[in-house]
Amino acid sequence: MTHSAGPANLLRALVVDDESLARARMRTLLSDCLAPTVSVEAEASSAVQALEMLQTQHFDVALVDIKMPGADGLALVQSLQSLAHSPAVIFVTAHSEHAVQAFDLEAVDYLTKPVRLERLQLALKKAERFLQAQADAQSQAQEQEVLIIQERGRSERVPLYQVIYFKAELKYVTVRTAQRSYIIEGTLNELEEKYPGQYVRIHRNALIARRSLRALKKHYDAEDGEGWAVVLHGVDDLISVSRRQLPMVRELLAR
């Protein structure tokens, strides 16, 4: 599973439990947690409902009950392995016998009900450390990735982390770094499939680096008319955002 940390000292949480009273108690406990603090973004009463949320929303941590009608919490977490971005998992259950299976699924902790605040706080600190380790590992891996660009009869290695955006131009793609632009053959679809964690499609002709996104700005484009463009760190270029992708860009900025 690939994990993605949220803002420093704040964890965005999903609470999964079929009992409404258990969800309410967990929400109350989480509101009392400090360092890290927690924002409960959503609740789910079943594994199916939770999976639907996890496929469309970003959470840093999921607090998951095990015994639920239908698919149980273990099955839910096993299915998360197919997601590009999944949360750190803390199991919260009245049953102690599933701990080995839980840790086999890379859970960061296993809590038994009734949960004490001090024990929950410790589990959240484990989740925070786990997310940071995952982010550091991903960053190191990205720094090692390179694009091989053929130019004037020679090959040039351009580190992927230096690429601020890709923009489609007829049959070619412009590769923009803070220093200069390159031209490569290929399609944005291929690049989007190859680098889903690092780059996001904001227009049919543009992929931008998630890490470079800074702001939205009103912008007039000759092709799209009045609309919005993104401000990117490292370049002065404004890249138009399609109306369809505008909510997604706003969500990325909100994070």
Report d(CA 119, CA 103) in Å as an integer. Answer: 17
Assess whether pLDDT exceeds 50 at residue 7.
Answer: no
Using left for φ > 0, alpha for ψ between -120 and 50, and beta otherwise, residue 35 falls in left
86, two tokens: 């999944």
Other CB atoms within 10 Å distance of the CB of residue 225: 9
In the chain, residues under CATH classification 3.40.50.2300 are: 10-141
pLDDT in tens, 213-235: 999 999 877 676 788 999 999 99
**Range scoring the smallest mean pLDDT among 17-21, 101-105, 132-136, 246-250:** 132-136
Pick the CATH number of 10-141 from 3.40.50.2300, 3.30.1490.20, 3.40.50.150, 3.30.70.100: 3.40.50.2300
Report d(CA 80, CA 73) in Å as an integer. Answer: 11
CA distances from 106 to 65, 98, 110, 182 (A): 15, 13, 11, 41
Helix ranges (H only) for 92-245 are 99-104, 117-144, 188-194
106, two tokens: 């890379």
Omega prior to 36 cis, within 30 of 0: yes
Helix ranges (H only) for 32-111 are 47-56, 73-79, 99-104
Q: How confident is the model at residue 88 (pLDDT cuts 50, 70, 90)?
A: very high
**Range scoring the smallest mean pLDDT among 22-31, 99-108, 160-169, 221-230:** 221-230
Assess whether pLDDT exceeds 60 at residue 2.
Answer: no
The whole-number pLDDT of residue 255 equals: 66
The whole-number pLDDT of residue 84 equals: 66
pLDDT in tens, 193-207: 888 878 999 999 999
The whole-number pLDDT of residue 112 equals: 93
pLDDT in tens, 122-150: 999 999 999 988 887 777 766 678 888 88
154-254 under CATH 2.40.50.1020, yes or no:
yes
Mean pLDDT, rounded, for 26-52: 93
Mean pLDDT, rounded, for 175-199: 90
More confident residue, 4 or 121: 121
Query: Quick check: 89 and 106 in contact, CB under 8 A?
Result: yes
Mean pLDDT, rounded, for 39-47: 95
Q: How confident is the model at residue 252 (pLDDT cuts 50, 70, 90)?
A: confident
